[in-house]
Amino acid sequence: MATSAPSRINDFTLKIATVNGTGSASANTLLMKSIFRSGVPVMGKNFFPSNIQGLPTWYEIRVSHAGHLARSGSVELMVALNPETYARDVRELVPGGYLVYDSTWPRPVLLSRSDITVLGVPLARMCNESFTGVRTRILMKNICYAGVLAALLDLDLARMRELLGETYAKKPQLLESNVKALQLGFDYAREHFACPLPLAIEPMNRTAGHVMIDGNTAAALGCVFAGATVAAWYPITPSTSLMDAFKGFCERLRVDAASGVKRFAFIQAEDELAAIGMVLGATWNGARAFTATSGPGISLMNEFLGLAYYAEVPAVVFDVQRVGPSTGMPTRTQQGDLMACAYASHGDTRHVCLYPANPAECFTMAVEAFDLAERLQTPVMVLSDLDIGMNDWMCPELQWDDAYRPDRGKVLGREQIEKLEKFHRYLDTDGDGIPWRTLPGVHPKGAYFTRGSGHTQFGTYTEDAHDYQLVLDRLMKKWQTAKTYVPRPLIEGSGREVGIVSVGSGDSAVREALALLAAEGISVDYMRVRAFPFGAEVERFLAEHALVFVVEQNRDAQLRSLLTLETPVEKAKLRSLLHYSGLPVSSRFIVEGVLAELRGRPSAVKPSAVGA
Amino acid sequence: MTFIAKPRVTHPSLPQNALGLTRRAYEGALSTLCAGCGHDSITAAIVEACWRRSIEPQNLVKLSGIGCSSKTTAYFVSGAHGFNAVHGRMPSIAMGANAANRRLTYIGISGDGDTLSIGLGQFCHAVRRNVDMLYMIENNGVYGLTKGQFSASADVGTRAKKGETNLQPPIDPVLLALDLGATFVARGFSGDKHQLVPLIEAGLKHRGFALIDVLSPCVTFNDHEGSTKSYAYTREHYEPAVLADFVPSEAPITVDYGVGEAREVTLHDGSRIVLRKIDSDYDPTDRAAAAAAVQARMSSGEYLTGLIYVDAGEERPDFHQVNATPEEPLNALPYEQLSPGSAGLRKVLARYR
């Protein structure tokens, strides 16, 4: 590292600004994977438009030897390839940062800052000279900048060729041009710049035992391993890839090679109302079934979710949250459906929600969701988000226990029904608020009528005040039972006055913020809520801290609202840190928020009556 | 209340079906519909058809949406599971249930509001998917539970009880189903059990989506002078095109066919429908001709009834054939056949390194 600048070896953010539909995804994946295979922790975040071709798109790669995988909040190296966004891209660089741009055309605007290093590479010219065909030239420009970065960041070129070989194993012509483009960029950078830059990659051994996977893929795998057989859905960003992945896995793993028989049903519904209806029909009939959607789909599913709650039909619903309200920003991330899912539908309804924080949890929680849905005979919503669902995360390799068998909950079999004098669908025979159910086709004595209208504990229609209330109260008892079944919060540290609470994808940013705050001499405890309803541990954490920051990614402090509605916590001591721009929250945002609050106080803790 | 409670005893002289069950085994809870409601006659026809077909009560699944019609699933076959879905959404419940277990017999009961207004989309898509079920519409042209509003099947010029005249054209479920590729399309009249029972029998046995639209007058809100869905009007204007007899696979044809030309349609399980044409030019296996005949009758204010169209060779695949699902119901597949295990997971993850 022949340089005098402060070293940012394995510790920087690289951002690529380009236009969507030009094939930059493969170059970005190539970069990500080659860093990952160098043993250096890395995270990629895709900020893409809701569009097929021609709008600005960014890809942010965070490299962190310490394993921090959130957005840091700063960019040290920018590859600016989209003239439309040059101005803001240049602005975003930290002082001392590096800018790579396509110098085929003069770009005076890029020289507006004197505190950055500008590296011009004639990408278009080189590709035009080396390749034929408009599309090929555009595509190769991407691999070409990957080559430039390989030289600047000291990436292992042989490993990158190997990755290209894996990608284009069946397309030798494409492989040849890709390798050529990679070398083109690499050679140019080597020839014209002092390579590597101070923010280079140095091989480590911190990614062994890890995979790079997105949450939708991991959730789909969870559905396969949970034994789900019926999947019904309506396409919606950003949940679509979950269903695509499920279908893909099933086609590989569940199709009988000889007969072509498929051990799954995959149904593209006419809308989300039908998708959830199909799931309910299937689970009611004894199959494990699920759907995946996003906020607008949840809105449409409300009516059926209410029925499922009241008639006690299991269901698993993945809500890969995107930015609302309404259509919002379909390709941006948010945690805006916490309230909508918790209390979806009219009347007194409440739903079990699971909040995965990363793809590994998408996998495990998908399996848990099916078990919980059947144990509790109720819909279970898994609230992922676009950031978890569609971005590649480095996470510990997913593990599977072969001893696992689905927990189908309280389902009476033929012999058990035979012995009964009479079957009562909604009777609390065990005192846990969970009644027994039966499946069609088993025994005529097990037959009952499933309905969303008022019913007695015996399963018959009612408009009687007392009989109606008995069932509603028993549902509340079941809710108490649910508190002991759902995943517990993860708590780190204890005894400090200040705590941070977060949920879902905010986790990695909070973890880095904890380290940064500790470096400033501020130690706080941390709790990540992983499920709704909240259990005793959540209440205890809130009770034991005098000041609690609630970090979430929505405007209306929905997690904070849920906490105040569902626990006895004093509202004033919950301080919101709200990030709702549509981009994943950065660690810097949290650090600054916490410091702003604490530094204004004589002591670390002085709750005021002012809300967040 | 239409009935008084009947004691649940089986008199030895009551006829039994192949399962040794009497018709009583196919009855349900007491109807709470208005006395004289057409829907109760349909319920009775369903009881009769299920008994005749010797369907094991637990192997029948009854599905419905919301409305007067949708209440009736509680009034037949109490040994069968029932699912009273939300308004207009029964087809999706049926699709899911059928996906989970293809071995059971699914009967959906809906109304003209439930199917043709709030549930029009789900109805159309269930037809497209050719879900293996019998879907019955108890069609009275009016909203009963909310007291007499026109439904989407109300004919132009028909008059409401309160005096209003309908000016919007109706949606005809039979024409719609024909257009959407339904494989079994029939129309009946609640007042003609003789015609209706064999239609239900055949519909239950048909593989794929079978529609029976049953004109079922509403005695309370749509049985007055000026209504085109009153008992009097319907009796006068329903025109059987084809008389259908259902013949189980094991039985020889013994019925004497006096009228017109008889034609057999064989179903997937070997049972047959014998069609006796009233009009010798009518071909119930010609979709376009069937639609034209329905339309021609409609323009003169008549309802063509009977088995209007049937996919004679059952050529259109049903949902499970398209999906290539196993004969074994999905809900009964052992877990070992569904999970690739830890070794499978390692293999899958190889490409994520």
pLDDT value of residue B277: 66
Predicted confidence (pLDDT) at residue A307 exceeds the cutoff of 70: yes
A411: tokens are: 């389902």
CA distance A317 to A232: 10
Rounded Cα–Cα distance for residues A227 and A247 (Å): 13
CATH number of the domain where residue B203 is located: 3.40.50.970
pTM of the model: 0.95
Q: Which residues of A touch B129 (CB under 8 A)?
A: 267
Q: Where are the domains of chain A?
A: 11-192, 213-396, 414-485, 490-599
Query: Which run of H or of E encompasses A140?
Result: helix A134-153
- The whole-number average pLDDT for the span A146-168 is 95
In a domain? residue B8: no
pLDDT at A50: 85
Q: pLDDT tens digits, residue range A311-335?
A: 999 999 999 999 999 999 999 999 9
- Which chain B residues are Cβ-neighbours of A221 within 8 angstroms? 345, 348
Read off the pLDDT of residues A178-224 as tens digits, 9 standing for 90 and up: 999 999 999 999 999 999 999 999 999 999 999 999 999 999 999 99
- Say whether residue A263 is in contact with chain B using an 8 A CB cutoff: yes
Give the pLDDT band of residue A604 (cuts 50, 70, 90).
very low
Q: Is residue B4 part of a domain?
A: no
Q: Which residues of A touch B335 (CB under 8 A)?
A: 227, 405-406
How confident is the model over A518-562, as pLDDT tens digits?
999 999 999 999 999 999 999 999 999 999 999 999 999 999 999
Number of domains into which chain B is organized: 1
A431 touches B: beta carbon within 8 Å: no
Residue A197 DSSP class: P
CB-based contact (8 Å) between A274 and chain B? Answer: yes
Under-50 pLDDT residues of chain B: 1-3, 253-257, 259
Task: Using CB atoms, pick whichever of B57, B80, B342 lies closest to residue A400.
Answer: B342
Report which DSSP code applies to B304: E
- Encode pLDDT of A489-527 as tens digits: 999 999 999 999 999 999 999 999 999 999 999 999 999
**A602 has pLDDT over 60:** no
Map residue A299 onto helix, strand or coil.
helix
Which positions in chain B touch A254 (Cβ < 8 Å)? 337-338
pLDDT tens-digit readout, A389-431: 999 999 999 999 999 999 999 999 999 999 999 999 999 999 9
Indicate the helix (H) or strand (E) that contains A215.
helix A215-226
Nearest C-alpha of chain B: how many angstroms from A252? Answer: 10
3-state secondary structure A545-596: CCEEEEEECCCCCHHHHHHHHHCCCCHHHEEEEECCCCCCCEHHHHHHHHHH
- pLDDT of res. A3: 42
To the nearest whole Å, the CA of A495 is away from the closest chain B CA by 40
- Give the pLDDT of residue B252: 56
Domain boundaries A213-396, corresponding CATH code: 3.40.50.970
For the domain spanning A490-599, the CATH number is: 3.40.50.920
Q: Which residues of B touch A317 (CB under 8 A)?
A: none
Cis peptide bond N-terminal to B91, omega within 30: no
Specify if B18 maps to a domain. no
Domain that holds residue B28: 23-352
Q: What is the mean pLDDT of chain A?
A: 94
Same CATH fold assignment for domains A213-396 and A490-599: yes
The model's confidence at residue A599, banded by pLDDT at 50, 70 and 90, is confident
Closest-CA residue of B relative to A308 is B85
Q: In this complex, do B338 and A229 lie within 8 Å of one another by their Cβ atoms? A: yes
Contacts of A277 in chain B (CB under 8 A): 85, 89, 91-93, 95-96, 122
CATH class assigned to A11-192: alpha beta
Q: Hey, are the CB atoms on A286 and B100 less than 8 Å from each other?
A: yes
User: Which chain A residues have a beta carbon less than 8 Å from that of B325?
Assistant: 261-265
Distance CA B307, CA B290 (A): 10
| A residues 458-497 closer than 8 Å to B (CB) | 461
A486 pLDDT more than 50: yes
The answer to whether the Cβ–Cβ distance between A265 and B325 falls below 8 Å is yes
Give residue A21's pLDDT. Answer: 83
CA distance B22 to chain A (A): 15
pLDDT, position B271: 80
- Taking residues A594-612, report their average pLDDT: 59
CA of B134, closest CA in chain A: separation in Å? 16
A 287-306: CB under 8 A from B: 287, 289, 303-304
- Give dist(CA B202, CA B130) in Å, integer: 16
